[in-house]
Amino acid sequence: MDAINLIFMYVLWCELEEDAERGHRRRRWRYCRHLCNTNGEARHYCQINVTVPVLKRFFYGEDTRPDFRLGREAIQVLLGALQTERQHGWGPTLETLVFLFWIATGSAYRVVARVFGMPITSIHRMVHRIAEEVVAVREKFIRLPQTEEELLAMGEGFARLAGHPAFIKAAGAMAVCDHQGRFIDTYMGFPGSVHDSRILRNSLIYLSGNYPPPGYFILGDGGYPCLSEPMALITPYKRPLTSMAEQRFNTHHSRGRSIVERAFGMMKTRFRCIFLEALEVHSEFVPKVVTACAVLHNICIGVGDEVIVEDVAMGDDPPPERECGAESRKDILPHQKEEGILPLSSPLSYSHSCSCHCSSACPCSSHLLLFLHPHPNLAWAGGERAHDHWR
Q: pTM for this structure?
A: 0.67
The pLDDT confidence band at residue 376, using thresholds 50, 70 and 90, is very low
Pick from 141, 155, 150: which is nearest to 77 by CA?
Answer: 141
Return d(Cα 363, Cα 188) in angstroms, integer.
Answer: 7
Top-ranked range on mean pLDDT: pick from 112-116, 241-245, 281-285: 112-116
∠ Cα 157 159 165 (to 5°): 150
The pLDDT confidence band at residue 1, using thresholds 50, 70 and 90, is low
Return d(Cα 300, Cα 146) in angstroms, integer.
Answer: 21
Pick from 284, 105, 219: which is nearest to 97 by CA?
Answer: 105
pLDDT higher at 373 or 94? 94
pLDDT of residue 132: 94
Return d(Cα 23, Cα 9) in angstroms, integer.
Answer: 21
Mean pLDDT of 280-293: 86
pLDDT higher at 383 or 133? 133
**Would you tell me how many other CB atoms lie within 10 Å of the CB of residue 90?**
17
Return d(Cα 206, Cα 229) in angstroms, integer.
Answer: 9
pLDDT of residue 135: 93
- pLDDT tens, 335-357? 443 433 333 333 333 344 443 43
The pLDDT confidence band at residue 361, using thresholds 50, 70 and 90, is very low
Return d(Cα 371, Cα 374) in angstroms, integer.
Answer: 10
Rounded to the nearest 10°, the torsion over CA 57, 276, 370, 198 is: -140
List of residues 6+ apart from 201 with CB closer than 8 A: 207
Q: Which residues pair with 352 in a beta bridge?
A: 368
**Can you say how many angstroms the Cα of residue 171 is from the centroid of all Cα atoms in its chain?**
17
Pick from 260, 269, 263, 264: which is nearest to 104 by CA?
Answer: 269
pLDDT of residue 274: 76
pLDDT of residue 77: 95
Mean pLDDT of 95-103: 94
Given the DSSP bridges, would you call strands 168-174 and 233-234 parallel, antiparallel or unpaired? unpaired
Do residues 179 and 255 make contact, with C-beta atoms less than 8 angstroms apart? no
